Amino acid sequence: MTDADTARTEGTGEGAPGTPGAPGVPPRKASWRSIGPGIVVAATGVGAGDLIATLIAGSKFGYTLLWAAVIGCLVKISLAEAAGRWHLATGRTLFDGWRSLGAWTTVYFVGYVVIWGFVYGAAAMSSSALPLSALFPGVMDLKWWAVLCGLVGLVFVWFNRYAVFEKVMTVLVGVMFLVTVYLAVRVTPHLGDAVAGLAPVLPDGSLIYTLGLIGGVGGTITLAAYGYWVNAKGWTDISWIKVMRFDNRVAYLTTGVFVVAMLFVGAELLHSSGVALTKGDKGLLDLGKVLEDRYGAATAKLFLIGFFATSFTSLIGVWHGVSLMFADFVARFREGRGGGGAAAVVAREKSLPFRAYLLWLTFPPISLLFLDQPFGLVIVYGLIGAFFMPFLALTLVWLLNSDRTPREWRNGWLSNGMLVAAGLLFLVLCVQQVRELPW
C-alpha cells in the first residue's frame, strides 16, 4: 500500500549505499507461511473499544459508512508499512529515528509510555475481564477477573519469546475472525445495501463517527511497534521488505473483514431494531443479551468468547510490543546514538528494561481497578494519547523523506499522500478527543 517501488524487492536485492543487508542477496519470497508480525499488530490494535465504535456506527447509520471502514484499513496499511520499511531499510529502530529528530521526541515518548501505560493497563485488564465475568457469572468479582487477566498476560509474556507469542496471537485472531464472520452471516446482511455503502456519503451527524471509523480501528501505539515485531521475527534487512509488505497487507485485509463483519452486525441487528448500546466496553455485553434473545444462548456465548479473544490479544500485544519499545528506549539512552540496531531487538526481548515495563503495565494499574481513576490522570492520559497517532504519522513522513533513509527506500508520492492524510485526520481526531475530555 505504498508506491515506494515494490519492484525494487524483485530485482537484485541490492540496496542503496548504507542499506543493511549483503549486496546481491535476493529478496525473500513472500508466502502465507511467512506472515506473522502483521497479524500481531492488527490483533493488538483492534480492541473492544473498536468493536463498540464500529457497532454503534452500524446501529446509527446502517451500511452508509462502510466506505470509511475500508479507508481506515488502507490508512493503517500505509502507517504499518512505513514503520516496517524504516526498520528494514535503515537497520535502525523507530525510536532511534525519533531520537534523531531532536530531544523533544524523547520527552514525548517517555511521558507517553509512562502515563499511557499506567492507565491503559487498567483499561486492558477490565476489558478482558468483562466477557469472562459474563461467561462465568458469580464465580468472582469483575475486579478480580481483571487482576487475573493482567497476571496471566504478565506470566505469558515474561516466559515466552516472540515465536510462541506470535502463535498464540494467531490462534486468538482465528477465534476473533471466525466468531465475527459467523455473526455477520447469522444476521443475514443485505449485500446490495452493503455495496451501496462503499460510496462516500456523509449523513447528517455522522462526521465524528466517520473520522472514528477511519482513524480508530487498529490505530494505537502498536502500529509503531510493528517494526519491532518485524525484527523480533528475524527480518532485519532489505531482503525482507517484500515479505513485510505481504504480511502487512494480509493482516489489514483480515482486519477489514473483521470491521466490515461488525458493521454488518450493527446495521442488521441494531439499526433495524433501534437498539442502543451502552457506551464503552460494557456495550458489548448489551450486544450479548440482544444475541441471546434473538439467536439463543449458544450464539451469545460464542460472541463472548470472541469478545475475550479481541480484548486479550490487545492486552498481551501491548504487554509485549510496547515493552520492546521501552527496552529499546533504555538501550539508546544508555548506549548513545551508535548503540545497537534493529537486529538487537531480539536480544532485548527478555532484558531487564523489557521486564520492568511489563511490571509497570501490570501492578501499578491494579490499584486503579479498585479506585476511581484520578481526575488529573485521566486528563493527562487523554492529552498524551490523543497526540500519539499524528505524532507517528508526521514523524514517519519526516524520517522517510530525509537522508536518514537510503534514497531507494524513501517515500514516493502515494506514501507521502497517505501518511500526510493520516496525520491530518489524526490531528482532527486529536482536537475532538481533547474537546471531549472531562475538563
Which among 325, 313, 304 is positioned nearest to 254, based on CA atoms? 313
- Cα torsion at 72, 286, 173, 143 (round to 10°)? 110
In whole angstroms, what is the distance from residue 104 CA to residue 383 CA? 16
pLDDT confidence of residue 256: 85
Nearest CA to 35 out of 140, 170, 195 is that of: 170
Distance of CA 118 to the CA centre of its chain: 18
- Please state, in angstroms and rounded to a whole number, the distance separating the CA atoms of residues 219 and 211: 12
Give the predicted TM-score (pTM) of the model: 0.87
State how far the Cα of 279 lies from the Cα of 48, in Å rounded to an integer. Answer: 11
C-alpha–C-alpha distance, residues 439 and 436, integer Å: 8
Contact assessment for residue 241 and residue 25, using Cβ atoms and an 8 Å cutoff: no
The pLDDT tens digits of the residues spanning 62-94 come to 889 888 888 888 888 899 999 999 999 999 999
- At 374, give phi and psi (nearest 5°): -55, 135
Which of 54, 68, 59 minimizes the C-alpha distance to 201? Answer: 68
Express each pLDDT in 149-198 by its tens digit: 999 999 999 999 999 999 999 999 999 989 999 999 998 888 888 888 88
Helix axes 103-111, 375-399, angle to 10 degrees: 140
Q: In the chain, what are the helix, strand and coil shares in percent, each to the nearest 5?
A: 75, 0, 25
Coil/strand/helix, residue 27: coil
Distance CA 369, CA 142 (A): 9
Place of cell 515479505: 243
CA-based torsion, 189, 177, 263, 308: positive or negative: positive
C-alpha cell at 255: 482486519
| Among 32, 33, 12, CA closest to 23 | 12
CA 23, chain centre distance (Å)? 34
Conformational region of residue 203, where left means phi above 0, alpha means psi within -120 to 50, and beta covers everything else: beta
Give per-10-residue mean pLDDT for the chain (439 aa). Answer: 40 37 65 90 82 82 87 88 96 93 92 87 89 92 94 96 95 92 88 86 81 67 92 93 94 86 86 66 78 90 93 95 94 68 75 95 90 62 73 94 95 92 82 70
Give, as one character, the DSSP assignment of residue 114.
I
- Note the pLDDT of residue 1: 46
Give the pLDDT confidence of 319-354 residue by residue, as tens digits.
Answer: 999 999 999 999 888 776 545 566 677 778 889 999
For the chain, give the percent of residues with pLDDT over 70.
84
Euclidean distance between CA atoms 310 and 46, whole angstroms: 7
Q: CB–CB of 151/397 below 8 Å?
A: no
Residues 6+ apart with CB under 8 A from 209: 53, 56, 57, 60, 61, 65, 68
Look up residue 365 and give its three cell numbers.
Answer: 494499574
Q: How many CB atoms lie within 10 A of CB 44?
A: 28
Residue environment code for 247-273, b if the CB has 16+ CB neighbours within 10 A, otherwise e? bbbbbbebbbebbbbbbbbbbbbbbee
Residues 369/141, Cβ–Cβ less than 8 Å: no
The Cα 340–Cα 373 span in angstroms is 38
Residue 281, C-beta contacts closer than 8 angstroms, at least 6 positions apart? 48, 49, 52, 126, 127, 130, 311
